[in-house]
């Protein structure tokens, strides 16, 4: 860690500390404790670190605005090191040791499924930073999700393809995240009148996908979908000179990947939610506050965690801090307009994000711009 | 399947193969000289590449100087590991498995250090010969990949000449084949082992620097390279660094041809099935015993 980043961290810590102090001036009484589990280290750190930033910012924001009916909120953030077993033991500690009223997170699907077992049997409301995963999650009616289900991500890709009249699509996807989205994409493609002319897979962490990219190119698609969590396929499609429009799933939207794309980060469209460089009106306050606090531009995961914290605060405000899990669960199912999207946790997928919440960003010379395209509700 | 697609697969296979070969050659040079299976060979590549990246982009060094410094860092790291760890363990007659555990531990430590000091981000280096590509019958190969292949082949030939033509190379071979015999003729066996690690570090770093314009280097790249390099080295015959070159290119080609021949979903299944068959038919590696003698 460089000296400047240590200084930055110290600055953030000081700000958070100061805000807690400032909050004490406005709020009083015992803090209301909410637990949070993120993957701050390990393979999921690319998600967990931004989520932690979003949570701490939300805590500061909620307390600065008078807390929950005058009482401050305290978000206790724990790291699961990207490991579901660790997530489970942290959840047990937060729920039974620290007596939190609700749980936010975790960052990864496997951890979410593991933690959901505890929260749903003990009627503790949970808002996960994942899209809904395996079938068992549909029965857990008190585990909500602030990121879209993979079916919606697949739909967003197809909506954009439809808008540019692309009917022949080539796909490059990885064997993890890409596989899951692909499973939803295949049955949907027919409905959109889209033919998948080449579907090429590569392993997670692959360092070269040029042969797969060449195979996609040889199928002469109208557009290419890339569903991955790495920069490699993006560089490779440019290397084999694929000139068709490239549409990438939200998994590749972090600055980490965009920076690693180098010159290939150009002319790529991503259906996502927050374009910090050009936020929608209702996202501006969050983006400004984030920039002031962290000296960086937020993306989707920061916003998802921010929304989760605000939703639970609103639910506690409505039901009362001592209402108990079941009432809190009902309270958080009210429709909510967040920074990332509009949610309705009463929906079947425990998310309720409409496809109209997507914005479509375009990478131009390594920088995000927001395109005017939106899907009509 | 069109001809240009096959050609594209061959380009990709040879390019990747040379990278596997450089990592594998370093791995087998170290094994040949010290009987240590070096599970941190890929970390030499990451350290070499990261040093070059930092000197070039943060310190503003000229590219050639940054490359030289990156390669040298790999060599010095190799020397350090021999002097600081391997030497002491060898003195106490540590077994091969203890050395394996040592290098696995070092690999994890180095990867974590890079994460801590440099961060999670991937870094690219400017391609040699510019961003351009060569178009052959609708298949493309980057100028940089051509440089990578040329430098890789040159390194292989130089390594062969070094082992066969130079006193130092011959001494290193002698020390590895029969340490006691070499010692009686006045060869400093311990020092030869240090040089072996220097050579391994140099080759690994060179591979890392050369691959970084094609694949962004980050803290996770090392393990990936070690695995491919190890497969290349075993395939060619672990005690023969030149075998690793043959093994690396074979592995790269089998992988990329499997993608176009069968399906990208089964790429690894096909590639590793072929490797298993090769190992059953030629258990001593592709170059076999003859290759071992020649080194």
Q: What is the DSSP letter of B273?
A: H
Tokens standing for A9? 């961290």
Out of A21-35, B58-72, B162-176, B255-269, the most confident range is B58-72
Would you say residue B294 has pLDDT above 80? no
Q: What angle (nearest 5°) sits at the alpha carbon of residue B262, between those of residues B258 and B264? A: 70
Give the C-alpha separation, A338 to A300, whole Å: 12
Would you say residue A4 has pLDDT above 70? no
User: Prior bond to B147 cis, omega within 30?
Assistant: no
Subunit contact A231:B16, Cβ cutoff 8 A = no
Tokens standing for B179? 């340490």
More confident residue, A2 or A233: A233
Partner residue facing A231 (CB), from B9, B122, B268: B122
Would you say residue B41 has pLDDT above 60? yes
Subunit contact A215:B264, Cβ cutoff 8 A = yes
Closest CA to B125 of B68, B194, B208: B208
Radius of gyration, alpha carbons of chain B: 19
- The pLDDT, as a whole number, for residue A229 is 86
Would you say residue A22 has pLDDT above 60? no
Distances (CA, A) of A340 to A44, A101, A303, B206: 20, 24, 6, 45
Q: Cβ of B132 under 8 Å from any chain A Cβ? A: no
- The pLDDT, as a whole number, for residue A377 is 65
- Same topology between domain A3-148+281-354 and domain A150-277+358-370: yes
Residue A2 — very low, low, confident or very high, per pLDDT cuts 50/70/90? Answer: low
Q: Please state the φ and ψ torsions of residue A93, each to the nearest 5 degrees.
A: -65, -45
pLDDT tens track for B88-107: 998 898 888 899 999 999 99
ipTM of the predicted structure? 0.76
Residue B157 — very low, low, confident or very high, per pLDDT cuts 50/70/90? Answer: very high
Residue B288 — very low, low, confident or very high, per pLDDT cuts 50/70/90? Answer: low
Residue A16 — very low, low, confident or very high, per pLDDT cuts 50/70/90? Answer: low
Would you say residue B291 has pLDDT above 50? no
pLDDT tens track for A120-130: 999 999 999 99
Would you say residue B269 has pLDDT above 50? yes
Would you say residue A17 has pLDDT above 60? no
How many CA atoms does the CB half-sphere of A282 hold within 13 Å? 12
What is the chain B residue with the closest CA to A175?
Answer: B265
**Numbered residues of chain A with Cβ closer than 8 Å to any chain B Cβ:** 1-2, 5, 45-46, 200-203, 205, 207-208, 210-212, 214-215, 218, 231-232, 235, 239-241, 256-257, 259-260, 262-263
Give the C-alpha separation, B123 to B253, whole Å: 26
> Among A373-377, B38-42, B197-201, which stretch is predicted with the lowest mean pLDDT?
A373-377
Please list, in sequence order, all residues whose beta carbon lies within 8 angstroms of the beta carbon of residue B290, skipping any fewer than 6 positions away: none
What's chain A's average pLDDT?
90
| CATH top class, domain B3-294 | mainly alpha
Domain A3-148+281-354 has CATH 3.40.50.2300: yes
pLDDT tens track for A329-340: 999 999 999 999
Tokens standing for A232? 């490699």
What is the chain A residue with the closest CA to B116?
Answer: A1
For CA atoms B205, B84, B181, B186, the dihedral sign is: positive
- The pLDDT, as a whole number, for residue A28 is 82
Three-state SS annotation for A106-162: CCCHHHHHHHHHHHHHCCCCEEECCCCCCCHHHHCCCEEECCCCHHHHHHHHHHHHH
| CATH top class, domain A150-277+358-370 | alpha beta
- The pLDDT, as a whole number, for residue A175 is 87
> For chain A, which residues make up each domain, given as ranges?
3-148+281-354, 150-277+358-370
Which chain B residues contact residue A212 at CB under 8 A?
A: 259, 264
CA distance B225 to chain A (A): 9
What's chain B's average pLDDT?
89
8 Å CB contact between B29 and B232: no
Q: Cβ of B259 under 8 Å from any chain A Cβ? A: yes
């Amino acid at each position: 860690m460089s000296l400047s980043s240590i200084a930055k961290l110290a600055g953030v810590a000081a700000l958070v500390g100061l805000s807690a102090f400032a909050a004490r001036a406005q709020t009083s009484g015992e803090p209301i404790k909410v637990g949070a589990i993120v993957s701050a280290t390990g393979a999921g750190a690319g998600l967990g670190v931004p989520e932690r930033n979003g949570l701490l910012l939300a805590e500061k924001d909620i307390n600065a605005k008078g807390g929950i009916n005058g009482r401050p909120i305290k978000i206790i953030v724990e790291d699961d090191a990207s490991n579901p077993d660790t997530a489970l033991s942290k959840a047990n500690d937060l729920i039974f040791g620290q007596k939190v009223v609700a749980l936010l997170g975790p960052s990864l699907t496997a951890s979410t499924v593991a933690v959901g077992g505890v929260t749903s049997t003990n009627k503790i409301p949970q808002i996960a930073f994942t899209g809904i995963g395996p079938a068992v999650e549909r029965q857990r009616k008190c585990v909500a999700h602030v990121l879209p289900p993979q079916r919606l991500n697949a739909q967003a890709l197809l909506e954009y393809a439809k808008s540019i009249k692309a009917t022949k699509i080539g796909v490059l996807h990885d064997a993890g995240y890409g596989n899951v989205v692909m499973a939803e994409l295949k049955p949907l493609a027919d409905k959109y009148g889209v033919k998948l002319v080449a579907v090429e897979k590569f392993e997670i962490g692959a360092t070269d996908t040029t042969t797969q990219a060449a195979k996609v190119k040889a199928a002469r698609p109208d557009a290419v979908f890339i569903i991955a969590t790495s920069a490699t396929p993006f560089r490779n499609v440019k290397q084999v000179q694929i000139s068709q429009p490239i549409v990438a799933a939200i998994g590749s939207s972090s600055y980490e990947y965009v920076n690693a794309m180098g010159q290939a980060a150009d002319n790529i469209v991503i259906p996502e939610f927050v374009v910090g460089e050009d936020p929608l009106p209702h996202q501006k306050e969050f983006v400004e506050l984030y920039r002031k606090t962290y000296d960086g531009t937020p993306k989707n995961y920061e916003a998802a965690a921010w929304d989760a914290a605000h939703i639970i605060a609103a639910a506690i405000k409505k039901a009362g801090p001592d209402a108990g899990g079941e009432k809190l669960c009902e309270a958080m199912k009210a429709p909510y307009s967040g920074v990332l999207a509009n949610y309705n946790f009463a929906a079947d997928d425990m998310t309720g994000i409409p496809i109209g919440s997507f914005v479509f960003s375009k990478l131009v010379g390594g920088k995000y711009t927001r395109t005017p395209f939106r899907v009509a509700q | 399947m069109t001809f240009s697609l096959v050609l594209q697969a061959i380009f990709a296979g040879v390019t990747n193969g040379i990278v596997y070969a450089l990592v594998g050659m370093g791995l087998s040079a170290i094994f040949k000289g010290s009987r240590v299976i070096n599970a941190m060979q890929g970390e030499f590549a990451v350290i070499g590449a990261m040093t070059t990246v930092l000197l070039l982009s943060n310190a503003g060094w000229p590219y050639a100087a940054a490359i030289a410094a990156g390669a040298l860092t790999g060599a010095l790291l190799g020397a350090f590991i021999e002097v600081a760890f391997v030497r002491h363990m060898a003195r106490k007659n540590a077994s091969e498995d203890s050395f394996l555990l040592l290098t696995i531990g070092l690999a994890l430590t180095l990867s974590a250090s890079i994460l801590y000091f440099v961060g999670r981000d991937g870094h690219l280096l400017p391609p040699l010969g510019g961003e351009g590509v060569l178009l052959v019958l609708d298949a493309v190969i980057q100028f940089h990949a051509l440089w990578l292949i040329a430098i890789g082949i040159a390194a292989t030939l130089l390594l062969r000449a070094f082992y066969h033509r130079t006193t130092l190379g011959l001494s290193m071979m002698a020390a590895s084949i029969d340490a006691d015999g070499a010692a009686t003729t006045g060869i400093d066996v311990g020092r030869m082992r240090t040089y072996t690690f220097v050579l391994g570090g140099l080759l690994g770093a060179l591979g890392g620097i050369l691959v970084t314009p094609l694949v962004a280097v980050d803290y996770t790249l090392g393990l990936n390279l070690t695995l491919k390099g190890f497969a290349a080295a075993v395939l060619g015959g672990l005690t023969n660094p030149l075998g690793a070159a043959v093994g690396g290119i074979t592995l790269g080609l089998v992988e990329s041809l499997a993608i176009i021949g069968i399906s990208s979903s089964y790429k690894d299944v096909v590639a590793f099935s072929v490797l298993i068959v090769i190992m059953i038919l030629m258990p001593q590696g592709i170059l076999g015993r003859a290759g071992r003698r020649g080194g």
